[in-house]
Structure 1
Amino acid sequence: MTSPEAQTAAPAPGRRERKRQQVRDQLYEAAIGLFVAQGYEATTMEQIAERADMARATVFNHFSQKVGFLEEWGARRRARVAAILGQESAENLPVGTRLRRYLREMGELNMTSRAETAVLMAASARFGQLLQDPSLELELARIIEHGLRRGEIKPGVDAVQAGSLLAAGYFSGILRWTAEDPPPFDLPDRLDRVIDIVLAGILA
């Protein structure tokens, strides 16, 4: 008998889609490698195409602007964290623990690739939409909304605003953590304190 999970699972991608994703992955890896090696500003779309051994037009077919690689970088990190927490059935955890786990996993990704994080976060802040992009705050807001439904959050708390506060604290912490060498503070501890401050205001 087919399980409900199997019945609702998305169909496996076809050969064409798999090939397209493979090309996109190759371009992405080439771009990130160049950004770290020589800087975001110094890297051109032509260099990305050359490093990936693809035509310049192929780059633009997948990423119409160089800033698209920055957006992809952020999206892939959030997806990795979501996958990790999904495997752990984190939706069953108390809302405070779940928020802490989410930002801790994000922090761990940054700690294991600090040079990459320093370059990509700085470029995202200067050339991208780092502080305007609502993706992270909406992910955090969904966790808070779940806590609201379970009665763990004070009634009337604006989940999106609370998510925005957490996201702002996260980005501020990462930018300061990567601005100096060696790092000026312990990143997981800083993120925990950000969560403590917000939770003190929203928990029931």
Structure 2
Amino acid sequence: MKIPDTTTATEGGATVGRQERRRRKLHDHLYDTAVGLFVAHGFEATTMEQIAEAADVARATVFNHYAQKIGFLEEWGARRRARVAGILGAQHAEDLPVDDRLRRYLEEMADLNIGSRAETSVLMDASARYGRLLQDPSLEVELARIVEEGLSRGEIRAGVDCGQAGELLAMCYFSTVLRWVREEPAPFDLQARLRGALDIVLTGLLAGREDTGRP
């Protein structure tokens, strides 16, 4: 009779069994293998069969973890957001004023892109072409949450639609990064361009009344 595997370990305060750790390890292996192939050969040219072969697993195993190839793209974005959230959490960025907090968030996202430009170029472009990059609300929800917390502290003008603000910032981020990756060498300083875009969003386009002479 087979004895159930009850060996456990603590992870993030939760108990994780050996079987689950193995599943996660395989999941990470498939993810890393797929991303490597995408960068080397392109997203469209890489098949699930090639991912299975490179990872040395059965084709069905890949589909058990990723029902579709675009699942790798969705996880790529989710992992980046989680990584930035972890960095900012360790820095207690939630205590910063809302403008500094938004700036730090976009700076960390830009750093990830700059540090892995080849990967970003392939996967961001593929996410826009084949995935749900511009329909997935995950980033705009995260940014909207930051704006909403700023609103609750009186740092954001009353009446601002936090959801719309998050959507605007997310679309600005994506369009800026897509322009940045589609030319070689990089056509502009990504950090500076994102900072400039955020400043425009935060301050608006119109000059103050004292500057225009309007009553």
- TM-score, shorter chain, exceeding 0.5: yes
1:99-178 equivalences in 2 (<5 Å): 99-178=102-181
Q: Partners of 1:77 and 1:23 in 2: how far apart?
A: 19
| Deviation sequence 1:138-192 (CA, Å, 0-9, x none) | 0100101110111100111111100111111100110000011011110000000
Report the counterpart of residue 6 of structure 1 in structure 2. none
Partner of residue 3, structure 1 = none
Q: CA RMSD in A?
A: 0.9
Pair member with larger Rg: 2
Partners of 1:76 and 1:17 in 2: CA distance = 19
* Mapped partners of 1:177, 1:148: distance in 2: 31
Partner of 1:180: 183
Map 1:57-96 → 2, pairs under 5 A: 57-96=60-99
Return 5+ residue gaps in structure 1 as ranges. 1-8
Per-residue Cα deviation, 1:53-87 (whole angstroms, up to 9, x for no partner): 11111100000000000000000000000000000
TM-score w.r.t. length of structure 2: 0.88
- Correspondence for 1:47: 50
Partner of 2:15: 12
Which of structure 1's runs of 4+ aligned residues deviate more than 2 A? Answer: none
Take 1:69 and 1:39, find their aligned partners in 2: how far apart are those partners? 13
Percent identical among aligned pairs is 68
CA distance in 1, matches of 2:16, 2:105: 28
Q: Relative contact order (C-alpha < 8 Å, sep 6+): which is higher? A: 1
TM-score (norm 1): 0.93
Structure 2 unaligned runs (5+)? 1-11, 205-215
Partner SS for 1:12: strand
Of Structure 1 and Structure 2, which has the larger fraction of its residues in helix? 1
- In the alignment, residue 146 of structure 2 is paired with which amino acid? I
Q: Deviations over 1:108-138 (max 9, x none)?
A: 0000000100000110000000000000000
Q: What's the counterpart of residue 201 of structure 2? A: 198
